[in-house]
Amino acid sequence: MQTPFRALLLGAPGAGKGTQAARLTSKLGFTVLSSGDLLRQAISAGTEDGLAAQSYVRGGQLVPDALVGRLVLAQTEKSLLSKGKEISRWALDGFPRSISQAESLESFLATKKAPLDAVFNLDVPHSVLVQRIEDRWVHAPSGRTYNLSFNPPKTPGKDDVTGEPLSKREDDNVEVYKERLKTYRKLTELLIEYYTAKGILVNFKGETSDEIWPQILSYVQSRT
């Protein structure tokens, strides 16, 4: 049996959370739940939550805590912590993004007796982030991300696994990105201190996902 490991992925928009999530999944058997993917799925399915979230996501602002918390915690309970079928290695990507979200996650996990083992902070210099956003393309149905500079698809414009067309995320443009980065600095960055104080923050520094991944890999291997 695998040693259980529960983690969060923290980092500015464009820091490579989705890329590291994909590697945690394929190389280390993690199940990763992304709040951004959950919201985008709800938006494209036209659910009530999706309709309520749409304008925030488009404008690069945080979706209200109550809405995103309900969506993410319900899915965490259902797909990661369901009784008798708990997933042993998992990570959340993009949630929490504020202290109040972190507190609601903490009390939820306490009720499930499933405390976090680590919070991975992807520390990428802000100067390289904007360029990465401009180069980012996604396969919307799966959430797989590509970067034209250092992680291009095998066939231009096509997803490696399905061959389906790639697209730009609506919020991946410079104006909206600036808004997302502002929000990140005001609210999400506070989580670095919050989890440092709890003794579970691990910092991984680098300019590209390929520099950061080996650090994550050896860290998880050393802990499991």
Q: Which residues of this chain interact with ligand AMP, rule CB under 6 A?
A: 13, 35-36, 39, 56-57, 60-63, 68, 94-97, 101, 171, 180
Catalytic-residue membership of 17? yes
The catalytically annotated residue of 40, 132, 136, 144 is: 136
Whose Cβ is closer to ligand AMP: residue 13's or residue 50's?
Answer: 13
Tell me the closest approach of the beta carbon of residue 221 to ligand AMP, in angstroms. Answer: 26
Q: Report CA-CA distances (Å) from 8 to 91, 115, 161, 206.
A: 5, 11, 26, 18
- Tell me 103's DSSP state: H
Tell me the closest approach of the beta carbon of residue 149 to ligand AMP, in angstroms. Answer: 19
The catalytically annotated residue of 6, 23, 40, 97 is: 97
Whose Cβ is closer to ligand AMP: residue 95's or residue 194's?
Answer: 95
**Helix/strand/coil for 173:** coil
Residues in the chain: 224
Whose Cβ is closer to ligand AMP: residue 3's or residue 167's?
Answer: 167
- Cβ 191 vs Cβ 102: under 8 Å: yes
Q: Give the DSSP letter string of 196-221.
A: HHTT-EEEEE-SSHHHHHHHHHHHHH
Catalytic-residue membership of 97? yes
Whose Cβ is closer to ligand AMP: residue 118's or residue 191's?
Answer: 191
The catalytically annotated residue of 6, 17, 89, 132 is: 17
Single-letter amino acid code for the residue at 155: T
User: Please, how many CA atoms are within 13 Å of residue 36, restricted to the half-sphere of its CB?
Assistant: 25
Catalytic-residue membership of 136? yes
Q: Which residues are catalytic?
A: 17, 97, 136, 169, 180
